[in-house]
Amino acid sequence: MTALIIDDERPARVELRRLLAAHPEIEVLAEAENATVALAHIQSLRPELIFLDIQMPGQTGFDLLNQLSAHVPQVIFTTAYDQHAVRAFEVNAVDYLLKPIDPARLASSLRRLKTSESETPEPSTPLAASDRVLLRSSDRTWFVPVASIRLLESVGNYTRVAFDDQQPLIHRTLNALEARLPASHFFRANRGQIINLRWIEHLEDYFAGGLCAKLRGGQEKIEISRRRAQEFRARSSL
């Protein structure tokens, strides 16, 4: 796979090249110290993958991605700041690596890249509340009971899944997950959230005929939109 390293700090580019030497399947075509140079390289070299810093002089890494149209490579973010992680996954990044980059995390990212290239279609078999499911984030896997999931929230093409004290981001859309979840337990509260009805602690009336649900086991207060609240009342009332 051909790659481009984009980072305004030369030592960071040198270090990433050193780490990538252990992965001969990645061919680094060039480096860029800012978004302008990177855009020219992407248009001329058409790399399949870019290692992209976020905070750079002039335009940010996100600004660069907004300019891409004809050729959009896979993206692994490399940054010293963790506050941009959610936005990074909203633009379908393969992974988000914090500097100094750990060799094991880099290897995990590259494995994830291979998986995404050969990804099979999303499973469609309906789940039962008694089933257990694999939840895989960028660097960890859980095997949890479906019934223990209290909340699912859309984050672009990813979904944040809340269970116990964990909230991993998994590479599945909320709509895809809704199709598999048991309707006896899970309810689409609004466009971006699905709640487990068994985890509702109490309900309050909300603006314009909606409802607000407080869930056990977390601090979440979930707005149930007016249209969905009407369906909820019809479904749940005696």
Domain ranges of the chain: 2-117, 132-236
C-alpha to C-alpha distance for 191 and 171, rounded to whole angstroms: 18
Tell me how crowded residue 181 is: count the other CB atoms within 10 A of its CB.
21
Cα separation of 129 and 9, whole Å? 50
| CB count in 10 Å sphere of residue 227 | 11
User: Distances from the Cα of 129 to the Cαs of 24, 150, 152, 182, 185, in angstroms?
Assistant: 44, 12, 15, 6, 7
Could you tell me the pLDDT band of residue 117, with boundaries at 50, 70 and 90? low
Fold of 132-236: OB fold (Dihydrolipoamide Acetyltransferase, E2P) (2.40.50)
- Let me know if domain 2-117 sits in CATH 3.40.50.2300: yes
Helix (H) or strand (E) holding 64: helix 61-66
Residue 87's pLDDT band, with cuts at 50, 70 and 90, is confident
DSSP code at position 208: G
For residue 44, pLDDT over 80 is answered with yes
**What value does the mean pLDDT take over residues 111-127?**
66
Position 161 scores a pLDDT of: 95
pLDDT of residue 35: 96
Q: What is the pLDDT of residue 120?
A: 46
CA distances from 111 to 74, 86, 105, 108, 160 (A): 13, 21, 10, 5, 21
Residue 24, preceding peptide bond in cis (omega within 30° of 0): no
52 or 157: which leads in pLDDT: 52
Query: With bands split at pLDDT 50, 70 and 90, how would you rate the model's confidence at 224?
Result: very high
Prediction pTM value: 0.53
- Nearest one of 34, 39, 35, 94 to 71, comparing CA atoms: 39
Dump pLDDT digits (tens) for 11-37. Answer: 999 999 999 999 999 999 999 999 999
Q: Which of 35-44, 92-101, 217-226 has the lowest mean pLDDT?
A: 217-226
